[in-house]
């Protein structure tokens, strides 16, 4: 059970202030590792009052809680309790050699053992977890996802139920907290979600968390269910239902922007904006790049409409992602739109750009890399509100 703040909205009953975590196992042969929380300062002051070469320790008795005839023996003239010792004679000698035994001044006293604070794991955690606070609005790990759970909560669950190298599955992975924690704890993982936007958010989260190791990590990630070549991208674009076609738009926007752009979640008319990316201009200013995706036929009118959107939104650059190569009339519109010159780095960009779906995949035979939007992306997280609002609320529940 994990507690959460009460909303003080109870009118006819006590308000719910906890979540219940269910534990299921396939068989009796399952992994469980006890988890611990740190001792309180008061507990340490009260129980670890002795010091040995600067190491705090407590002294504990060696009395067996139950009768143990096989552990009943005298040691250096000191007799055990009637129940016997808690350790064997060999272990007693080992503790003695290590200077861990405390011998009483009276011959009738009992031998005690030193328990060093720096060797103790802490207090065993029970089934009420009230030590993990919810994610605050200012938390560094906050991504704006409505069902996002604290990493500390997933860390406890994963540590308790798996070992390094085990595989962790999250079938509703959302913003990827389970995936991120499993990666950090050296577990293999599988994440499943119904929207590409969530997958893009997870990839972005991992790439920023493990910036130096990201190329090696990315090479070991296998993506299923997303376009891997032109044929599968066209198949996704030609699906009949609106929701799947919207996933094509999300995939195109996020793939072309290296998961840096933000999806337009506005329902109904999108105002000619499928995605928008913020890029760095200076310490005080971000530029904006408007992205439109068209899966049907395109022509110069589409670019004129995009230019109108750029002007209306006071954006710097516009990109049209489409199926076919631009016609001469479209290229003329791109030329007429002119250039955007970045005021800080001095680099020129076409103000209107057209990229085809085919260009978004590498051409290995001709040595061409996949085309991506090359902008000095703003360091602020432009995908933070990602798949959250629209898609997360529509996910089916387990129960």
pLDDT tens, residue by residue, 313-356: 999 999 999 999 999 999 999 999 999 999 999 999 999 999 99
Inform me whether the pLDDT recorded for 389 exceeds 60: no
Tokens at residue 71, please? 């552990």
Whether 102 and 114 have beta carbons less than 8 Å apart is answered as yes
- The string of pLDDT tens digits covering residues 36-91 is 999 999 999 999 999 999 999 999 999 999 999 999 999 999 999 999 999 999 99
Residue 384: the pLDDT is 45
Dihedral of the CA atoms 308, 314, 315, 320 (nearest 10)? -10
Give CA–CA dist 203/105, Å, rounded.
Answer: 65
Strand locations in the chain (E): 2-3, 18-19, 36-37, 50-52, 55-61, 101-102, 112-116, 123-124, 167-170, 188-191, 262-263, 275-282, 285-293, 317-322, 339-341, 348-350, 352-356
In terms of C-beta density within 10 A (0-12 exposed, 13-18 middle, 19 or more buried), how is residue 25 classed? exposed
Give CA–CA dist 240/85, Å, rounded.
Answer: 75
Inform me whether the pLDDT recorded for 359 exceeds 50: yes
Residue 380: the pLDDT is 43
DSSP secondary-structure letter at 397? P
Name the pLDDT band for 269 (thresholds 50, 70, 90): low
Inform me whether the pLDDT recorded for 259 exceeds 50: yes
Name the pLDDT band for 377 (thresholds 50, 70, 90): confident
Q: What is the 3-state secondary structure (H, E, C) of 67-110?
A: CCHHHCCCECCECCCCCCECCCHHHHHHHHHCCCEECCCCCCCC
Dihedral of the CA atoms 210, 206, 160, 56 (nearest 10)? 30
Tokens at residue 31, please? 């992994």
- The string of pLDDT tens digits covering residues 123-159 is 999 999 988 888 876 677 777 666 788 999 999 999 9
Name the pLDDT band for 398 (thresholds 50, 70, 90): very low
Q: What mean pLDDT is predicted for residues 230-249?
A: 84
Q: What mean pLDDT is predicted for residues 300-323?
A: 96
In terms of C-beta density within 10 A (0-12 exposed, 13-18 middle, 19 or more buried), how is residue 262 classed? buried
Give CA–CA dist 384/55, Å, rounded.
Answer: 46
CA gyration radius, the chain: 31
Inform me whether the pLDDT recorded for 194 exceeds 50: yes
Name the pLDDT band for 11 (thresholds 50, 70, 90): confident
* Candidate from 17-21, 207-211, 330-334, 393-397 with smallest mean pLDDT: 393-397
Percentage of the chain with pLDDT > 90? 64
In the chain, % helix, strand, coil (3-state, to 5) comes to 30, 20, 50
Inform me whether the pLDDT recorded for 197 exceeds 50: yes
Residue 92: the pLDDT is 97
Residue 136: the pLDDT is 73
């Amino acid at each position: 059970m994990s507690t959460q703040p009460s909303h003080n909205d109870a009118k006819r009953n006590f308000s719910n202030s906890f979540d219940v975590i269910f534990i299921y196992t396939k068989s009796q042969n399952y992994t469980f590792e006890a988890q611990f929380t740190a001792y309180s300062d008061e507990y340490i002051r009260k129980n670890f009052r002795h010091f040995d070469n600067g190491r705090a320790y407590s002294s504990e008795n060696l009395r067996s809680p139950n009768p143990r005839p096989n552990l009943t023996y005298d040691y250096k003239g000191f007799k055990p309790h009637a129940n016997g010792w808690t350790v064997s004679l060999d272990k007693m000698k080992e503790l003695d050699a290590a200077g861990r035994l405390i011998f009483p001044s009276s011959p009738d006293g009992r031998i005690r053992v030193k328990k060093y604070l720096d060797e103790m794991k802490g207090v065993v955690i029970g089934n009420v977890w009230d030590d993990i606070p919810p994610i605050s609005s200012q938390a560094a790990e906050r991504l704006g996802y409505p069902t996002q759970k604290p990493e500390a909560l997933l860390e406890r669950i994963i540590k308790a139920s798996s070992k390094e190298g085990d595989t962790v599955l999250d079938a509703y992975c959302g913003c990827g907290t389970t995936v991120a924690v499993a990666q950090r704890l050296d577990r293999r993982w599988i994440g499943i979600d119904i929207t590409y936007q969530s997958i893009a958010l997870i990839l972005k989260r991992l790439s920023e968390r493990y910036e130096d190791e990201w190329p090696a990590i990315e090479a070991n990630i296998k993506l299923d269910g997303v376009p891997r070549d032109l044929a599968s991208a066209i198949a996704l674009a030609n699906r009949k239902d609106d929701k799947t076609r919207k996933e094509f738009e999300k995939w195109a926007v996020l793939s072309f922007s290296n998961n840096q752009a933000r999806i337009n979640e506005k329902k109904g008319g999108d105002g000619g904006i499928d995605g928008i990316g913020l890029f760095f201009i200076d310490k005080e200013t971000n530029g904006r790049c408007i992205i439109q995706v068209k899966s049907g036929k395109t022509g110069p009118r589409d670019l004129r409409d995009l230019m109108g959107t750029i002007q209306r939104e006071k954006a710097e650059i516009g990109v049209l992602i489409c199926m076919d190569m631009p016609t001469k009339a479209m290229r003329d519109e791109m030329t007429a739109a002119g250039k955007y010159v970045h005021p800080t780095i001095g680099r020129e960009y076409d103000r209107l750009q057209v990229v085809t779906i085919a260009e978004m995949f590498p051409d290995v035979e001709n040595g061409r890399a996949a085309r991506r939007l090359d902008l000095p992306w703003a360091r602020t997280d432009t995908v933070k509100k990602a798949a959250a609002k629209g898609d997360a609320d529509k996910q089916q529940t387990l129960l």
